[in-house]
Chain A
Amino acid sequence: MSNRQDPGPRSGFDRRRFLTTAALGGATIVGASALGGIDADAAFAAPMPSLDPAIAKSTFAEGRITAINGSVLEVAGSYGEQHLIQLTHATSVWKLRATTADAIEAGDGLYARGVDMPDGTIAADAVWVNIVNLFCTVRGIAKDRLHLTHGDGNHAVVGRIVPETTTASYLGGSLTPDLSRVRIGQSAQVLGAWRPADDSVDIARVTVGH
């Protein structure tokens, strides 16, 4: 058993063990394939209306986190609006990988999907912190980073390779830790976490040859 992700205060080893037993014991087994989205890509998709009429319509918020008060994030939206985002233990937090609310810092950028509460806050189902999705060209390759340019002005961006985390997909294949097939001059889609400190990007996934 490997504990790659921070288990968080509520889900330690025993809880995982318990949930595994429950998951394998009384599970429904479903085969065959169907369509679906890529998990982190969901941050960029329009909120999907739930099929269940009892669940309120999803709302979506984005901006920079100005303050963190306990489990409430104060967020300044890009168009001058303010959001209060309530995190719960059921809120998923993505910051380069699935992590916990402890990883969120003031100054981070944020996308959140959740439900409007009567008191004006948004109860978040999922938040994606500092997520960026860049269409760029590979200009240089080093041991721990890719040099990229993106946009009309060919803005230079440094994409950092994070051991155990950065994955690559080639020609529509499944994600692999093998990065050795990335070539200079290729067009690449980079999904990653922006680092406000030095304006570089930690790469979660680089997709080439698609």
Chain B
Amino acid sequence: MILDLAPLVCGVLLAVSGAAKLLGRRTAQVAANTVLVRVLGNGHRAAFALRAVGAVELAVAAGLLAAPATVVPGAATAVLGAGFVGYLGYAKATAPQSSCGCSARDEGPIGVRSFARAGAVLLCGVAAAFAGTAWWSRVARDPGWSVLVVAVAAAGLLALSTDLDRVWLPLRRLRLRVFGTPLPADPGGRVPVEATVELLERSLAWQASAPIVRSALLDAWDDDGWRVLRFAGVHEDARGARPVNVLFALDENATADANPSPAVRVSVIDDRTQEVVPVDLLALSGLRRPLRMV
């Protein structure tokens, strides 16, 4: 059964890839990225070679589809497949980043899928060479099983195609639309610490404290409706520089969406003595100077 249907599957595969190579508008572009350019000297010859291979594929496909019970088309397919494997092996060894040009569509570097595809052509050719019955009489005899085998083979070949995402993406989208997203929706409504940090870093308080703050976020905790964010810093005054903790306290439920400029409490605490250091943030940062009283 599988042997008898091999010419059909293989013939359609070669017809599609051969036609794409022979008649494709982008064949010249694709050829320019293959190892053929280096082997044959220039891009024109490479494109010609790729189109010639396409023509051979089409001829073999015609043979497979029209005279499936004879040995020659199957053997020719196997030889073609072996040639592809050899070509890929040579290209992989000498120019691993080159495009394979296999289906005249994919531009990616040669990978496992390229080899699997060439190997499939080789195996399919061997199977086709041993076909005893023409595929149309086999299909007429066992229509159900034939459709199943062809469908499985087509799915297998599709899975070897690098254009797989084009098939999967709409299916995945459909699944999400039907069954809903598996991702968590808002679990409990607590504002993430990162959102509070984001809010802080857009605030005047943060800009004003820039000369003191040295670290990124060290610690964060919630207490009695406040969210306290701790940063390390260095404060310099007449007595010299000393390490300090810079504490920012914000409403723990504030987000940029609801309140883009909430009040921020800022305090600077000496890291050694644990005393509050009086700092005039607005004067320190030079953001605003007090108006002189007249």
How far is A142 from B135 in the complex, measured between Cα atoms in Å? 42
- With a cutoff of 8 Å between Cβ atoms, the chain A residues found around residue B286 in the complex are 51
With known contacts A33-B203, A34-B202, A178-B185, A5–B285 Cβ distance under 8 A: no
**Chain B nearest Cβ from A143, distance in angstroms:** 4
Q: Mark A17-39, 1 if CB is under 8 A from B, else 0.
A: 11110111111111111111111
**Which of A35-94 touch B at CB < 8 Å?**
35-40, 42, 48, 50-52, 54-55, 90-92, 94
User: Which residue of B is nearest A156, CB measured?
Assistant: B165
**Chain B nearest Cβ from A123, distance in angstroms:** 10
Say yes or no: B230 contacts A94, CB within 8 Å. no
Q: Mark B270-282, 1 if CB is under 8 A from A, else 0.
A: 0100101011111
Q: How many pairs of residues, A versus B, come closer than 8 Å at their CB atoms?
A: 235
User: Which residue of B is nearest A178, CB measured?
Assistant: B186
Say yes or no: A174 contacts B236, CB within 8 Å. no
Which of the 9-residue segments A102-110, A180-188, A194-202 touches chain B?
A180-188
Say yes or no: B198 contacts A175, CB within 8 Å. yes
- With a cutoff of 8 Å between Cβ atoms, the chain A residues found around residue B48 in the complex are none
Q: Is B256 an interface residue (CB 8 A)?
A: yes
Of the candidates B169, B185, B211, which one forms a contact with A50 in the assembled complex, judged by CB atoms under 8 Å apart?
Answer: B211
Q: Is A205 an interface residue (CB 8 A)?
A: yes
Which of the 9-residue segments B16-24, B139-147, B219-227 touches chain A?
B219-227
User: Which residue of A is nearest B203, CB measured?
Assistant: A33
- With a cutoff of 8 Å between Cβ atoms, the chain A residues found around residue B188 in the complex are 177
**Chain A nearest Cβ from B17, distance in angstroms:** 22
Say yes or no: A19 contacts B247, CB within 8 Å. yes
How far is A119 from B261 in the complex, measured between Cα atoms in Å? 44
Q: Is B41 an interface residue (CB 8 A)?
A: no
With known contacts A28-B267, A51-B210, A174-B195, A39–B216 Cβ distance under 8 A: yes
How far is A173 from B257 in the complex, measured between Cα atoms in Å? 6
Q: Is B49 an interface residue (CB 8 A)?
A: no
Number of A residues whose C-beta is below 8 Å from B?
71
- With a cutoff of 8 Å between Cβ atoms, the chain B residues found around residue A2 in the complex are 221-222
User: Which residue of B is nearest A175, CB measured?
Assistant: B195
How far is A44 from B195 in the complex, measured between Cα atoms in Å? 19
Can you list 27 A-B contacts (CB < 8 A)?
Answer: A1-B223, A4-B221, A19-B269, A20-B249, A23-B228, A26-B276, A28-B279, A30-B204, A30-B281, A33-B260, A34-B287, A35-B202, A36-B201, A36-B203, A39-B198, A50-B210, A51-B210, A98-B220, A128-B216, A167-B194, A167-B195, A177-B188, A178-B185, A182-B181, A184-B173, A185-B169, A204-B194
List chain A positions with a Cβ less than 8 A from chain B. 1-5, 7-8, 11, 16-20, 22-40, 42, 48, 50-52, 54-55, 90-92, 94, 97-98, 125-126, 128, 139-143, 153, 161, 163, 167, 173-180, 182-185, 204-205
